[in-house]
Structure 1
Amino acid sequence: MTEIITSTAINAPIQVVFDCARSVDIQQLSTAKTNEKAIAGRTSGLCELGDEVTWRAKHFGFYQTLSSKITKLKAPFHFQDCMVKGPFSFIKHDHFFESKDRTTIMKDVFAYGVPYGIFGKLFNQIILKKYMTRFLLERNSVIKEVAEKMY
């Protein structure tokens, strides 16, 4: 299992940041480089508890699909999405939000497992963990930009 933790300070109210983080539309905007699109389930708007989204995106030169489900939601402080089908052994992504003065701290705890035994572990150590970290940081940068413009 690999765990990536990020923290982003955003100059916007907690509810605005929470809504931006669970927006399918903002997710698609933040992943334009991989041409990520919601193709089934909730395909626009804000994800709610129990919603599933199937994403199609190009990673490492190949189009892949991944379906995730919102498994926990306590507005505006936390939500969790988990992979229900896709190329990983598992994904569990917790999103935490904390209000401090006029800033919201958005914290991601992204845990995943890779298939393919030793080959998967090597790929993860050499390439995938850095790739996924950059992917999350780019997403968070777009959320920050959108939330701060809204506020």
Structure 2
Amino acid sequence: MINFKKHSGIYTLKTQQELNISIEKAWDYFSSPENLAKITPPKMGFNITSQVDKKAYQGQIITYKVSPIPFIKTNWVTEITQVKEQAFFIDEQRFGPYKMWHHEHWFEELTNGNTLMKDKISYKIPFGFLGHLAQSVFIKKQLNTIFNYRFITLEKLFNGK
């Protein structure tokens, strides 16, 4: 499920997915930065360029190369700003294609032993009117594609579908 909203020039994307794994296994998988490439569409050319030998921790800086537009690579730098083990972590863009990017990753243990994973992304786009035009023509569609790919990949990995 993907939900988009806009308020005061900030776009918000929310998703959620139930995974047939324990919260411990979910945390282990999603707090490992190297797994991000596995759930990102290959056409994005996503590549971590910094050393990420540890699970997500507060203050961790991660650098990437990504191709948001075919044949155009850009650098992206994020910082893990908050972490509560087996509950949530937050990454924020320090340098990259957005004017602002704040991504909350939430994990909730369900009574059936599964994990409910929720994402909330708040972002602003640069370039004023042209940026908002790009949002409606391109960016929203691209984010939908990324999170739909992720949903399908996680269904195969953890839900046997």
Q: Deviations over 1:85-108 (max 9, x none)?
A: 111101000011111122110000
On the 8 A contact 1:37/1:56 being kept in 2, the answer is yes
**Residue of structure 2 in register with 1:2 after alignment:** 11
Does residue 1:88 correspond to 2:98, yes or no? Answer: yes
Identity %: 22
Normalising to structure 2: TM-score of the pair?
0.83
On the 8 A contact 1:4/1:133 being kept in 2, the answer is no
* 2:136 corresponds to which of 105, 125, 144: 125
Q: Which runs of 5+ in 1 are unaligned?
A: none
Q: Deviations over 1:8-64 (max 9, x none)?
A: 11000012112212222211122223121110252x552222111111011212111
On the 8 A contact 1:5/1:107 being kept in 2, the answer is yes
On the 8 A contact 1:20/1:146 being kept in 2, the answer is no
Q: Give the AA of the match of 1:36.
A: F
- Once structures 1 and 2 are overlaid, which stretch shifts more, 130-139 or 70-79? 130-139
* CA spacing shift, 1:46–1:137, aligned 2, 3 Å: farther
Provide the C-alpha distance between the structure 2 equivalents of 1:45 and 1:30, rounded to a whole number of angstroms.
18
Q: Which runs of 5+ in 2 are unaligned?
A: 1-9
Does residue 1:138 correspond to 2:149, yes or no? Answer: yes
Q: Give the AA of the match of 1:118.
A: F
* CA spacing shift, 1:48–1:137, aligned 2, 3 Å: farther
Structure 1 stretches (4+) deviating beyond 4 angstroms? none
Paired residue secondary structure (2:25): helix
Q: CA RMSD in A?
A: 1.8
* 1:37 corresponds to which of 38, 44, 47: 47
Query: Would you say how many aligned residue pairs link Structure 1 and Structure 2?
Result: 148
Structure having greater relative contact order (Cα 8 Å, sep ≥ 6) = 1
Q: Deviations over 1:112-146 (max 9, x none)?
A: 10000100001102220121122123234434544
